[in-house]
Amino acid sequence: MILRTLCLSAALAAFAGAAAAAPPCEGAPSGVKLNVTVTGAKPAKGLLAITVYDSAKRWLAPGQKLLRQRPKATAGAVQACFWLPKAGTYGVAVYHDINGDKDFNRTLTGMPAEGFGFSNNVAPRFALPKFTDVRFTAGTGETSQRIGLRYLD
């Protein structure tokens, strides 16, 4: 009985610690939650800009984001979550803001100088992806997207 109590107490303490370490979700709480996992940050410094869009018209347009989080870039996986306003179609764009200037830096030739990624793990070749390529449906409950960063170095 004592052993069972100790094991239960340890499990509850571990769960509480993990829950306390989880970042809060961005947005107004709703019945639609998006969990985003970003992998492959190199080097493991700076910030990740994880941005959610809700339409083709707004996709990657300046000032048209629905929600954004800027967690620290770390080795391994970085988690972010968002409360979406309703079930529907969304797209996610991520960039690795290595120098923390809150800007997606480019080379002199206009190519990305920092890592980037998109929902559905779309890998564009010569141009930015269209919303139709990155869109996914988020329904009631939880939806997840796993995005691997790409670098053109």
pLDDT at 23: 67
What's the CA gap between 25 and 85, in Å, rounded? 13
Residue 12 lies in a domain: no
Report if residue 73 sits inside a domain.
Answer: yes
Is 8 part of a structural domain of the chain?
Answer: no
**Residue 82: its pLDDT value, please?**
98
Report if residue 17 sits inside a domain.
no
**Count of the separate structural domains present in the chain:** 1
Q: What is the CATH number of the domain that holds 95?
A: 2.60.40.1120
Q: In the prediction, which pLDDT does 41 show?
A: 96
Residuewise pLDDT in 10s, the chain (153 residues): 454 444 444 444 444 444 445 568 999 999 999 999 999 999 999 999 999 999 999 999 999 999 999 999 999 999 999 999 999 999 999 999 999 898 898 888 888 889 999 999 999 888 899 999 999 999 999 999 999 999 997
* Domain range for 75: 25-148
Is the CA virtual torsion 72, 147, 96, 85 positive or negative? negative
> Which pLDDT score is estimated for 22?
57
Give domain status of residue 52, yes or no: yes
Cis? peptide before 43, omega within 30° of 0: yes
